[in-house]
A and B are shown apart, each in its own frame.
Chain A
Amino acid sequence: MLLIQCPWCGPRDEIEFRCGGEAHIARPADPTALDDAQWADFLFMRTNPKGWHRERWYHGAGCRRWFNGIRSTITHEIVGFYKMGETPPPLPDRSPASPGPTR
């Protein structure tokens, strides 16, 4: 179970949260201006990276706030969370690390 650092409440168990999928997919300002393919791209298409991923989280059983975070889809390492509307920090330029010792 992930330990998630809610920017409002501090570290809490994953069961208090819901993951809202890929972050920074803005709803188009004028949907009628899009053709079917463009609309489908907004509606259905998401990246599925192996590695760092910016995604949305919702603290439903806590402060009921949405926020963004950067998580490794390989190791679940979370490098940080930032509030909605804040400038997204750059992705780490290292590969996701194992926190344990190496032999």
Chain B
Amino acid sequence: MSGRHQRPDSGRIDRSAPLHFTFNGRRYQGYAGDTLASALLANGVKLIGRSFKYHRPRGIVSAGSEEPTGLVQLEIGGYTEPNLRATQIELYEGLITTTQNAWPSVEYDFGAVNNLFSKIFIAGFYYKTFMQPRSFWMRYYEPAIRRMAGMGRASREPDPDIYDRMNEHCDVLVVGAGPAGLAAAQAAARTGARVILADEQSEMGGNLLTENVKIDGRPGTDWLAHVVTELDSRDSVRLLPRTTVFGYYDYNYLCAVERCTDHLGPKGAPGHPRQRVWHIRAKQVVLATGAHERPLVFADNDKPGVMLAGSVRTYVNRFATLPGRNAVVFTNNDSAWSAAFDMADAGMAIAAIVDRRDTVRPALAERARERGIRILAGTVVTGVTGRRCVAGVEVARLASDGTGIAGGVEQIECDLVAMSGGWNPAVHLFCQSQGKLRYDDEKACFVPGRAAQKQYSAGSANGAFALADVLIEGFHAGISAVDAAGYGATANNVPPRADREETAPLRPLWLVPSTKTLGHGAKRFVDLQNDVTAADLLLAHREGLDSVEHVKRYTTSGMGTDQGKTSNVNTLAILAEAQIKTIPMLGVTTFRAPYTPVTYGALAGRDVGHLADPIRTTAIHRWHVEHGAAFEDVGQWKRPWFFPKPGEDMHQAVARETKAVRDGVGILDASTLGKIQIEGPDSAEFLNRIYTNAWKKLDVGRSRYGLMCREDGMVFDDGVTSRIGENSFLMTTTTGGAANVLDWLEEYLQTEWPTLKVYCTSVTEQWATISIAGPKSIDVMHEVAPGLDVSSERFPFMSFQEGTVAGVAARIFRISFTGEVSFEINVPSYYGLAVWEAVWAAGEKHGMTPYGTETMHVLRAEKGFIIVGQETDGTVTPIDLGMDWIVSKQKDFVGRRSLTRSESVRSDRKQLVGLLTEDPKEILPEGAQLVFDPSAPIPMPMCGHVTSSYWSPNCERSIALALVKGGLGKKGETVHAPLIGRTVRATIVDPVFFDPENKRRD
């Protein structure tokens, strides 16, 4: 453990709990409390992966969720997860992890040849390089690029873990448990308000774990322990460690992901959820999300061993880890000096502090001298040496105008560069909430301006970087939030205090000059994850891309899994300099959720597998299962599709079933049809306005087919509705449209015709519907309903009767979707299975055959009956369907006026026709496009498409329904369906293929 402190009591790791892990097949040891990143650094592992585009060696840059390059593939098999930040993976015993994007190994990566061809991989290279020939993109370029420029790989196995979802309300949600968040939560919680404190790290405390500070006169970590204990003791407070608030939506609705058992490893907590997504509605929100340190943009600033100074400090103080033995600190502000002193005090050699500012605050200089640290003021790092990792730096004096170097270059040996370009408040959630940013010139960063929701920003998230200010801001944010949430202040609420340390202002240097001009020599990286350099940004500028959103997409700067947390402001500043504008004039790219990547598993929660969508089954479902039905999903319903006998395929089963219905009798479970009970004195008037045909004079006991249109005249739903009583109707709808139709009826009743006395109730699930069809269905009815006169004279087509079927009170409807004599027996669902079994027992000796939806479709297509949603697609009028016989000329109805619009009366609208293929054995594929002239040049003018197509056993040939332009006037003409490798000829015919005189149904 060469990279650990010698002092055994330092840091937040537990040396009594050693943990073993594997990286790229090699075993290492760390301790409880380590992250994967700190354990790797402690073991001297600097090279973590290869970069996205150039396959350059990359290491760990930060210590937090902003990490751009330290990405690994965690675990194997079904548990594997790609692109995880090593800085956020808590170490556990047996952890297995590997490098991404390197072959054959991270040390010797073949893809690194890309670096030699880097002139090709410039900004917008996708658009420039792979354009010709066009056909090569799908076949060659894209697959090759995907292999080369990869991130990690998703598992191909099912996710073995379970995930949870929680809904929660609170008075104050505090995001971030650093000093500001803790002060806010403490102040708010003391009033008794319901407070949630969420923090993304394993341990609360934020920067208190990084810096050695004093609060209220005692060590910061003591204050931290005290506050956490106090909060934990309150029932009204919920502490959520390991929880990232990733989305901030309207009306203070926030989403957070809690990593419940990730830190225990894949099998560490059987039966417990791995992650939980919290959906939180907060009265008030305090954002104490901290700040991200900015890298400096200098030559070869991507080499493993170049790290953020504050993060080095975190490794040294929190993890007792030395990421190097001999460091150069490169900065433009005071914060990195404090980091340097902590590094030196931990036993690291500091070769030099290189500060671009000409003058150094005397107090800092004095503390450096005490530690024997060399100070290079007015100086910059112009290059980094070393093949795979940092071996030294080149430094030179900065010219007075800041754009070049003055004097010679000096070499300094080191194995670590700790850089600081200043700090960016983590304003991501603030911006997601639609808050407006303000640019602070003095701090050279964007800070929250006008908030758009009930929310306060506090601490370094608000641009207050000094601890004394952080604590006071946090405290006041907590007080203000809890006050706004309706709780008064309590007497014992006083803000925590820290000493104020003087600081000198930061001086930005967005692009650090080098010995060579930009674009020549070593690369100066802006976005480390996406391999975007300063030269790429300037090229994009020269090519005329001014908007930051365009530059982002053209160069890919700020994209990827980190979404530019470390690169965005540097990108903006370099673009602003190029455009001779100020940074706020450019604005920022849009911040979108999630703050850090969230797995699909967590977002799906428990809504997976059989819980993904409700499954609806009818009362008779068990019988279908027992009789070997193959099922089809219709909406959420499981419907029998066909009933294969042993050895039969679907085609044979459907052929047998369709013949059986026409020649004997078939039985179908029609329970899924939507059923709406319509009651009230104005029911007939209401139906008259909704349906295209007339309803007021329908006699009690009679049924009628109806078609509904939307107000634009397009067919919306259809079905048979029966008059049960003077003021009572039973409407049936399509299976999939039932809920929409009910909503539709309610909308018109409540918003257009509120004076109509009509009430609608869904009774779909209250009634089981057993349909028996075929010439022998009357024989079956005689047996199961002996008291019922089913003769056509007493029980005509399109009527219904109440009676007893198999001893159960039933409504029997004489309606037909097959063209055969047909009875639909409705009984309360509770009796559905019993009545079905009784009908089946009676029917078996008549050769009764159960049939499913496929046979139903064939039978109805033989008769030319439409299915809404198959023959129609929201652009088809009743006239287009040739159903003008059902459109009343005498009355108004919803959609009527639209049928006479100029668009609706065009003669070349697509209209419903039948198609007979020249070869009767040829079955057209449904959806096939149709043309009049197959010799027309490509792209051929298309004239329609096939909507339904089947083999018809009763017609002994194939049949099809189609929508064809002007089809109603083109009977007898030929259309062509160009398919792959051949073209099928077909003749346009009337869509009724079987029994056009309707002799069979009556």
Contact = CB atoms under 8 A, between A and B. Distances in A.
A3 B743 contact: no
B454 interface: yes
Contacts of B752: 26-27
Contacts of B743: 58, 60, 64
Given A32-B892, A32-B897, A36-B902, A85 B754 contact: yes
Given A31-B892, A66-B747, A1 B253 contact: yes
Given A2-B251, A3-B281, A101-B456, A64 B746 contact: yes
A2 B450 contact: no
A76 to B, nearest CB: 5
Interface string A1-32: 11100000000011000001000001100111
Given A40-B901, A43-B898, A103 B892 contact: no
B685 interface: no
A103 B480 CA distance: 14
A66 B712 contact: no
Interface centre among A31, A39, A98, A100, by most chain B C-beta atoms within 10 angstroms, is: A100
A84 B896 contact: no
B435 interface: yes
Given A34-B897, A43-B711, A64-B746, A102 B250 contact: no
A56 B901 contact: no
Interface string A25-69: 011001110101001100100000000000010101000111000
Contacts of B480: 101
Interface in B860-917: 892, 896-898, 901-902
B188 to A, nearest CB: 16
A90 interface: no
A31 B901 contact: no
A75 interface: yes
B281 A58 contact: no
A1 B251 contact: yes
Interface centre among A32, A34, A36, A65, by most chain B C-beta atoms within 10 angstroms, is: A36
Chain B interface extent, by class: 20 to 34
Interface centre among A14, A32, A99, A102, by most chain B C-beta atoms within 10 angstroms, is: A99
Contact of A100 (B451, B898, B901): B451
A85 B892 CA distance: 23
A60 to B, nearest CB: 6
Chain A interface extent, by class: 20 to 34
Interface centre among B438, B450, B750, by most chain A C-beta atoms within 10 angstroms, is: B750
Contacts of B450: 98, 100, 102-103
A85 B249 CA distance: 32
Interface in B446-464: 448-456
B249 A98 contact: no
Given A43-B898, A56-B751, A100 B452 contact: yes
Interface string B436-450: 001000000000111
Contacts of A85: 754
B892 A99 contact: no
Given A32-B892, A66-B751, A99-B453, A39 B251 contact: no
Contact of A99 (B454, B711, B902): B454
Contacts of B746: 58, 64, 66
Contacts of A58: 743, 746-747
Contacts of A75: 434, 452
B451 A102 contact: yes
Nearest to B252: A3
Interface string B361-405: 000000000000000000000000000000000000000000000
B251 A84 contact: no
A65 B249 CA distance: 26
B451 A98 contact: yes
Contacts of B250: 1-2, 14, 76
A101 to B, nearest CB: 6
Nearest to B480: A101
B249 A1 contact: yes
Contacts of B454: 99-100
A100 B455 contact: yes
A34 B896 CA distance: 12
Contact of B750 (A32, A34, A65): A65
Contact of A84 (B452, B750, B897): B750
B455 A76 contact: no
A54 to B, nearest CB: 13
Q: Please provide the 5 A-B residue pairs with the shortest distance between their CB atoms, ordered closest to farther.
A: A100-B451, A31-B897, A66-B750, A1-B253, A3-B251
13 contacts: A1-B250, A3-B281, A27-B711, A31-B892, A32-B897, A36-B902, A66-B751, A84-B750, A99-B453, A100-B435, A100-B453, A100-B454, A101-B480
Given A43-B898, A75-B452, 17 more contacts: A2-B250, A31-B892, A31-B896, A32-B892, A32-B896, A32-B897, A39-B897, A39-B898, A40-B901, A58-B747, A76-B251, A98-B450, A99-B453, A100-B450, A101-B456, A103-B438, A103-B449
Interface of B: 249-251, 253, 281, 434-435, 438, 448-456, 480, 711-712, 743, 746-747, 750-752, 754, 892, 896-898, 901-902
